[in-house]
Amino acid sequence: MQRNNAEPATAQTKPVAPKIWYAPYLAGATGAVIETVTLHGFDTAAKRLQKNKGKLFSWHGVMSFGSMSGISQSWQVLQSNGRSNVAALNQVIFREQASASLAKRWVSLYPGVGVGAGYKVIQRAYKLGCQSKLQAYLESQHQFADHFGKYKKDWLAGISGAMVGAGEVFLLPLDILKVKMQTRGATDQPKSFLTVWRQENPYKGISVTVPRNMIGSFSFFGVRQVMKSNGVDKDIANAAGTVVSIVVPAPFDVIKTRMQAGSVPMRARDAFRMTFKEEGFSALFKGAIAKVMTQGPKVFVCFAVAERVEHAIPGWVQSVKEALQRWRDKQSSETARLNHSLLFFQRARTVDPAVEKTPVQKADKWGPGPR
C-alpha cells in the first residue's frame, strides 16, 4: 500500500500579498531618508579627511628603547604626538568649529544636508529598484544566464549592480554640490545648484566616478548575494557587502573627491600620478577606514531598512485596501439604511388618491335619532 506523504491541511494558510512594482523604489527612498538624517555628519567627516593632503599622524621619535630613559622619553613623545594628532584631526574634521562645544561641532558636520537628502533619496530609490528589476530580467535571459552555471544568481546580481552603478552618473551634479558643501568653509559655500552648474563642469570627475560606481556596486550586490546564497543572515550579508564595496574602489573614491573639490588635476591619470608621487600609495586609501566606520553604517542602515520596508509594503497596501473596502461597505450600508428610512417617511406622508376622492360624510350635530 502506497503511503500518502501529503500532510492534511489543518489550518488555512494566509494568502500571500501580491507584489507591488513600486515597492523597491519606495523602500530605497525610505532608507535614504533615515540614512541621511542620522548619519550625514559621518559622511562629511570622511569627505574632509579624503580631501586633506597633509599628514594627520606623526610617530617620529617614538621608537627609542635603548634604555629605561629611552622608554620614558618615548612615552613622553607618544603622549605629545597623540595630543597633536588629535588636535590636527579635530581641525581637519570640524574646521572653524574645532574649539566649539560638542553640539556645535556636530551641527557643523551637516552642511548641505538638504542636497544630500535629495541626492540620496534619488540614488537609493534608483539603485535598489532598478537593480532588482535588471537582475530579474537578466535571469529571464537563459541563453546569457546559463553561461555562469550554478553561480549565475551571484554573478548576475553583481553584473546588474555594476550596470546600475554606471547609470548612477546622471546624479553627479548633485554629488558635486554635496561634496563642495561638505568640504568648503562656512564662508565659501556654493549658493545654489545653478551656481555650481554655471561656474563649473557639472560632470566633473566622471572618468573616475563611472569605474568607482561600477566596482563598488558590483562588489556590494555580488558579495551580498553570495553570502545570502550560502545561508548567511541578510544583515550580515549587507554588512560584508558594504565593507567590500568601500575598500575595493577606495582609490577611485579618493581621486573623485579631490577632483570634485578642485584640489588635483582634472585628468584622472594625472590626478593618480600626482597623488601617488606626493603622498605615496597609502594616500589612495586615505579615509578608507574612516569611510568604513562612517559610510558603512549608512549603507547598512539604508539597505536594512529598505529590505524590511520592501517586504512590508505589500502587506501595508493590502491592509489599506481592506480598510478602504470596509469603510466603503460601511458607507454603502449607512446610505442604504438612510434611503430606506427616507422612502418610509415619504410613503407615510403620501395620501392615497382613492381615499382622497371619497366624499366625507358630515355627522349631524344633534347626533342620531328621531327629529
Task: Please tell me the distance from the alpha carbon of residue 344 to that of residue 338, in angstroms, as a whole number.
Answer: 10
User: Buried (b) or exposed (e) across 285-299, using 16+ Cβ within 10 A?
Assistant: ebbbebbbebbbbbb
pLDDT score of 279 more than 60: yes
Amino acid (one-letter) located at 6: A
The predicted model gives 39-60 an average pLDDT of 71
pTM, full prediction: 0.64
pLDDT score of 4 more than 60: no
> How many residues comprise the chain?
371
Phi and psi dihedrals of 201, rounded to 5?
A: -70, 115
pLDDT score of 363 more than 80: no
Question: From residue 291, how far is each of 47, 48, 84 by CA, in Å?
Answer: 8, 11, 22
Task: Please tell me the distance from the alpha carbon of residue 222 to that of residue 316, in angstroms, as a whole number.
Answer: 30
List, for residues 136-179, the tens digit of each pLDDT value. Answer: 999 998 888 888 888 899 999 999 999 999 998 888 777 777 77
The predicted model gives 286-293 an average pLDDT of 78
Question: From residue 117, how far is each of 35, 128, 284, 338, 364 by CA, in Å?
Answer: 9, 16, 27, 51, 95
Cell of 136: 530579474
List, for residues 109-132, the tens digit of each pLDDT value. Answer: 887 777 778 888 888 899 888 998
Cell of 35: 540614512
pLDDT of the residue at 67: 45
Phi and psi dihedrals of 285, rounded to 5?
A: -115, 20
Just give the CATH number of 23-39+110-319: 1.50.40.10
What whole-number percentage of the chain has pLDDT above 90?
12
User: Buried (b) or exposed (e) across 337-359, using 16+ Cβ within 10 A?
Assistant: eeeeeeeeeeeeeeeeeeeeeee
The predicted model gives 232-249 an average pLDDT of 89
Amino acid (one-letter) located at 236: I
Please enumerate in sequence order all residues whose Cβ is within 8 A of that of 296, keeping only pairs 6 or more positions apart, or say none: 239, 242, 243, 246
